[in-house]
Structure 1
Amino acid sequence: MAREPNGGVIARLGIAQTLAWGSTYYLPAMLATPMAHDLGVSTPTIFAAFSAALIVSALLGPSAGRMIDRAGGRPVLAATSIVFAIGLAGLGLAHGAIGLFAAWLVLGVGMGAGLYEAAFATLVAFYGNRSRGAITGITLIAGFASTVGWPLSTFMEAHIGWRGACLAWAALHLTLGLALNLSMPGGTLARAPEEAASLPSTPRQPVSPGVPSQRLASVALAFVFAATWFTSTAMAAHLPRLLQAGGASLATAVMVGALIGPAQVGARLLEFGFLRKLHPLFSARIAAALHPAGALAFGVFGAPAAALFGVLHGAGNGILTIAKGTLPLVIFGPDGYGRRQGVLMVPARMAQALAPWLFGMCLDAFGAKALWLSSGLGIAAMSMLMCIRQVDQPVEARMRTGLSS
């Protein structure tokens, strides 16, 4: 029989992803200020080092994906646990800007091969077309990375300092993270002949005239991922200040920020329960429209609509995170998924690195009207998704059978 996604594998990989995200992507928000003070650099310098790590992760993503396609995810993810530990230890031992940037560049290597794209590729390498539910499960668990990571980093910084916090995160990667990643199934569908022989033959269908070329679909998805990741990162960095610029109080801004995480998880539960019965393009199109819709409500009604804006933004971001894993699978199939995913995410990582700086400039210059930028990107992303038609029915039927199981 074809492999079915295993709940234990999803849980272990989800916990490992929570650790990876909480100790890297969500680290500067809590530790940047004490880190800058101790190292004698400005806070923007800390975020510049973080942006450099994102650029490194973008450049290494395609190579990491290709390795997972060939050998499966276990060796790659296990190696990233060690890389994360080295980078965090280096950060905790840094004594100036050079050590700071060197440590973040090492962390960038780990991020390029150890975050969502690698986890999704690991699942696809092992489960093939049946990975959609597993991808959603991973994002459901790791969606709490900031919920866990921010308080834990804050607690550790208060009791053992930011250096101790970095070293503690490194220790967690060498123990918990490494153990979880080593427990992943080995190999790929292509490397399991006894199982591959039992799989039904599913030859690749020719692209019909109504379906755009793979090149056009790739360009469209790369743009969609870059636009949505830009907005997601910009909101993560500037949401409280943005809401205050639009007339909301600080207390309201904090409350709205607290709503985004639950909104993301709630939307992912909806995707897992109902929307996964539909084609992923349908849910992605809806999700891309939610941020502009929330921004319109906030622009028209001001502070009373701040909570609605936060919920709609969070829900859209939650579903789009899943779409980043499922759309390449349903459109192109599992062959070469890891490499293709890495290539598609290069512009997104670059946009992510630029987002805090560029959106911050717009916010300084235009106030809440900076939402025109993020809303325009959301509308453009939705338009690009509308240009991608669903795959022809024979392939789609197979995908629904596999991805909905």
Structure 2
Amino acid sequence: MKESPTLLDILLLGGAQILVWGGSFFLLSVLADPIGQDTGWPRQWVLGALSLGILVSGLLSPWLGRALARWGGRGLLGASGIIVAAGLLVLAASQHLAVYVLAWVIIGAGMACGLYDALFAALGSLYGVRARRAISHITLISGLCTTLVWPVMAAMVSQFGWRTACVLYAALLLVSVVPMYRRALPAHRAVTAATTTAGQGGHGLDRGVYWLMSASFTVAAVLMTAMMVQLISLLQARGATLGEAIGLAALLGPAQVGARIVFMAMKTMHPIWPALASVVLTLLGLVLLTVAPAYAAIALLMYGAGNGMRAIVRGTLPLALCDARDYAAVMGRLARPSLIGQAATPLVGGLCLQYLGASPTFWVLCMLAGVNVMLTVWLWRRLAAAA
């Protein structure tokens, strides 16, 4: 077994993540309007099906964490491409809303098998703390997902229609994802779970540490989803034109990639420090965006940097705190509340924007970001006391 992933392995894993994220979580950013225009289905149902898919992913995550610990990640991660492709084929064939919803249930199962939580769990189980470098590099590569996938998907929709675009993307997943994971990940070597002692929760983690980390990750996931879904609408409600809102939102990608490059330079730093930097930057960015819309560009760069670190911290902080033999199970358990929170966010965020307006909605996001700063500081103090 290799001591750590090679550069080729990392490139293949990052590429596979781009393909699966693009065919699932980020799909409706391009397809929602064409689907609604073609079918006449209400927009809330078209977008709400993604929430159902995220919910299915969250409900399956703890079981998949145990499965990864027992059987390894190569087979399950490879299966994600097949499952998401199957969901896309059902999506392409859907003539009734119920079939469309079923397609997203299938895609949600593929998301559980193949997105960050599953991959990080597999890498941590295989390589232990040596997986930190691979996790950082993979999130850097996959941060280009929307930059690469959205234009390609939009071009296919324009040329062939949304149904054919789904079929073509499904074919790409079927021929690429399994070979990429088979080449990049070694065969699994079974390990015995570490012993959990009294007073510990989350498979070997101190119970308080586990719950603080789980709560912080959940709030961060809710904030990310709210901003992804509502940012352009919120900016327009504050007076920006559509073009200005899209231009400002485009700053998030470079900010996230830049923050991940900085994180990669922190090779010896404990992940709790990037975690603190992530939540503080997120809070400062949201507060500045709320109180000084004229400085929206600076605010979104700060928020994007904080959110960019979040994805890496999600994989590296649990890896630094628990035994590698328990890592897959811990990641599975941590994923459930985050994904359930994400599933509810589009609906709740839409209601806040509709009934409260843009400014109060921004303040709600600021309060959540402030809560996350307190949770992370509490976690830091608890870890410092234990050390």
RMSD across aligned C-alpha pairs, in angstroms?
A: 2.5
In structure 1, what is the equivalent of residue 246 of structure 2? 254
In structure 2, what is the equivalent of residue 359 of structure 1? 349
* Superposed displacement of residue 16, structure 1: 0.2
In structure 2, what is the equivalent of residue 169 of structure 1? 169
SS of structure 1 residue aligned to 2:251: helix
SS of structure 1 residue aligned to 2:184: coil
In structure 2, what is the equivalent of residue 95 of structure 1? 95
Aligned length: 381
* Superposed displacement of residue 54, structure 1: 0.6
* Residue 291 (structure 1) aligned with residue 282 (structure 2): yes
Letter paired with 1:298 = L
* C-alpha distance in structure 1 between counterparts of 2:238 and 2:115, whole Å: 34
Matched-pair contact (CA < 8 Å) for 2:87–2:107: yes
* C-alpha distance in structure 2 between counterparts of 1:204 and 1:67, whole Å: 19
* C-alpha distance in structure 1 between counterparts of 2:233 and 2:109, whole Å: 31
* C-alpha distance in structure 2 between counterparts of 1:77 and 1:298, whole Å: 38
In structure 2, what is the equivalent of residue 403 of structure 1? none
Matched-pair contact (CA < 8 Å) for 1:328–1:341: yes
Query: Kindly tell me: are residues 363 and 176 of structure 1, through their superposed partners in 2, closer, same or farther at Cα, counting changes over 3 Å?
Result: same
In structure 1, what is the equivalent of residue 311 of structure 2? 321
1:4-403 correspondence runs (5 A): 4-188=4-188, 190=190, 214-273=206-265, 275-302=266-293, 304-364=294-354, 365-389=356-380
Matched-pair contact (CA < 8 Å) for 2:135–2:316: yes
- The TM-score with structure 1 as length reference comes to 0.88
SS of structure 1 residue aligned to 2:185: coil
* C-alpha distance in structure 2 between counterparts of 1:185 and 1:48, whole Å: 34
Q: Percent identity?
A: 34
Q: Deviations over 1:68-121 (max 9, x none)?
A: 112221111111221111111111111111110111111111001111111111
Unaligned runs of 5+ in 2: none
* Superposed displacement of residue 8, structure 1: 1.5
* C-alpha distance in structure 1 between counterparts of 2:381 and 2:370, whole Å: 20
* Superposed displacement of residue 205, structure 1: 11
Q: Which runs of 4+ in 1 moved over 4 A?
A: 189-192, 202-208, 390-393
Unaligned runs of 5+ in 1: 193-201, 397-405
Query: Kindly tell me: are residues 111 and 284 of structure 1, through their superposed partners in 2, closer, same or farther at Cα, counting changes over 3 Å?
Result: same
Matched-pair contact (CA < 8 Å) for 1:40–1:96: no
Query: Kindly tell me: are residues 22 and 2 of structure 1, through their superposed partners in 2, closer, same or farther at Cα, counting changes over 3 Å?
Result: closer
Q: Deviations over 1:194-240 (max 9, x none)?
A: xxxxxxxx9999999xxx96211111111111111111111111112
SS of structure 2 residue aligned to 1:99: helix
